[in-house]
Chain A
Amino acid sequence: MSEPLVRLENVRFAYGERTILRDISLSISRGQVVAIMGGSGCGKTTLLRLIGGQERAVGGRVLVDGQDVGALGREDLYALRRRMGMLFQFGALFTDMTVFDNVAFPLREHTDLPPELINDLVLMKLHAVGLRGAAQLRPGELSGGMARRVALARTIALDPMLLMYDEPFTGLDPISLGVIGQLIRRLNNALGASSLIVTHDIQESLQIVDYIYFISEGRVVAQGTPDEIRNTSDPFVHQFVHAEADGPVPFHYPAGDYATALVGGAG
């Protein structure tokens, strides 16, 4: 088997005193769609930022296509980022440009292609996400799902080798959600890329991904293929898949004894 496209080796990360990731090791093989799951605030998005080089790990290594992201200078990091695409939670479209110009942005910034060719490429990307007809609209005129599809078209404009999605399903109606899910899978296959989805939408993810990692308290606590996850006996994964309120992930934030707090006055 070839070297995985992304490999994290014992990665540790902290914002000042606050430790976010304790010890994360995982890998994404070429051509795979991988999901990273976990409760809100468990450091999933931080993982994407580490892979994209927006943050640097405190310990361990983050390797993308054989390069140690944390050790790259600005020029090399930018060269690597040209081969990565990241879809932000709410699309992050440039509000002062039309849909067309948004998708054309990376092409115009990084290539010297003639305008006719850029025009064709942009229309092809927009067609792939079903929004060729919306090319002249402004981001403010789009629904949440459409905005995310435009952002997806922009993300794939330079045919990246790695696609990263930050909560791509949040706040979408069931139809848009299904559309985005199918697009993620289809585009991954069509581009021959690898994809990494950070999400807590377990049902949608189980349908489209090849492999899932569960993260809790800064560690990988479970992993497996969708079939393995569905049939797991692991209590954490079971709680997650069945959305139970209490379990290995406690309902209560850590606190002192309840009776003492009530009777004893100041907690």
Chain B
Amino acid sequence: MGRLMGGVLRKLGSLAVNGVWQFGFIARFFVLILRYSGQSFMRLHLTIRELYFSGVMSLLIILVSGLFVGLVLGLQGYEILQRYGSSEAMGTMVALSLLRELGPVVAGLLFASRAGSAVTAEIGLMKVTEQLKAMDMMAVNPIARVVAPRFWGGVVSMPLLAALFSTMGIFGGWLIGVVFIGVDDGAFWSQMQAAVDFRYDVLNGVFKSAVFGVAVSLIAVFEGYDCVPTAEGVSRAITRTVVSSALAILALDFVMTSFMFRGL
């Protein structure tokens, strides 16, 4: 019994210690990225290329998902609101739920699995094939040349993608409510306009998505750079990117929401 307890305690202890170490590594890595970002901004085409891969290439999944989330919100929202005879409030409900929560969070989750995993895989495979080492031996810093552009590409793409997600969602809600069900068009938009506050709702949502962008991009580049340089190591790193990103997004979302919207 004593031995079992000792074993459990030891395991817990090592988990905690490893967690702290890992957190320290990520923090140091983040500082390194910031330090060498200047060098990578001098050759802006590198970052723009990553912006294309992370941002533009994620457009399809983001736009389609946004549309469908909006359609479903429209159906569900109408069904509930009409019980209270306030189906005109549909626009408000769709817009607020997308701008405050669903836009940043769902777009963040999709972004992590579409772009984050790709970044991890790319950097991980560059490590496996010694490309990072070769670069370092050519006196080119891999953090400045490979990591920083991918990080900033993700950070810039994420809020834009979340905004497009919300826009598509609102369009989807309008399609269901106004076009198919027949909610009054004027009421739909004017109630939305009256109820949505730019700073309180829109900017807070943008801020959220920017934070998610930093978190997902940092996790993705770190996992790739830190992976065990084997096929198995890369696959584990990709899994970790998606799982840790999802958990980070949900945890950060809770913290930010509780600070931003506690007046309610």
Contacts and interface: CB of A to CB of B under 8 A. Distances in A.
B134 interface: yes
- B contact face: mostly helix, strand, loop, or mixed: helix
Interface in A57-99: 78-79, 81-82, 84, 86, 88-90, 92-95
B137 A81 contact: yes
Interface string A186-230: 000000000000000000000000000000000000000000000
Interface in B130-180: 130-131, 133-141, 145
Q: Classify chain A: how many residues form its interface, as a range.
A: 10 to 19
B131 A95 contact: yes
Contacts, number: 44
Given A86-B134, A88-B134, A92-B134, A109 B140 contact: yes
Interface string B168-211: 00000000000000000000000000000000000000000000
A106 B130 contact: no
A52 interface: yes
A90 B137 contact: no
A90 B130 contact: yes
Nearest to A157: B138
Contacts of B129: 90, 92, 95
Interface string A234-265: 00000000000000000000000000000000
Interface residues of B, number: 15
Contact of B138 (A90, A93, A106): A106
A110 interface: yes
B130 A110 contact: no
Most buried by B among A52, A79, A93, A109: A109
Contact of A79 (B126, B131, B139): B139
B139 A78 contact: yes
Contacts of A110: 139-140
Nearest to A48: B137
Contact of A88 (B125, B133, B139, B145): B133
A82 B145 CA distance: 16
A54 interface: yes
A54 B136 contact: yes
Interface string A146-173: 0000000000000000000000000000
A99 to B, nearest CB: 15
12 contacts: A52-B137, A54-B133, A78-B139, A86-B137, A88-B130, A89-B130, A90-B130, A93-B131, A94-B131, A95-B129, A95-B131, A106-B138
Can you list the 7 inter-chain pairs with the closest CB atoms, starting with the nearest? Answer: A92-B134, A78-B139, A92-B130, A81-B139, A86-B137, A82-B139, A88-B130
Given A92-B131, A92-B134, A109-B139, 5 more contacts: A54-B133, A89-B130, A90-B130, A95-B126, A106-B138
Interface of B: 125-126, 129-131, 133-141, 145
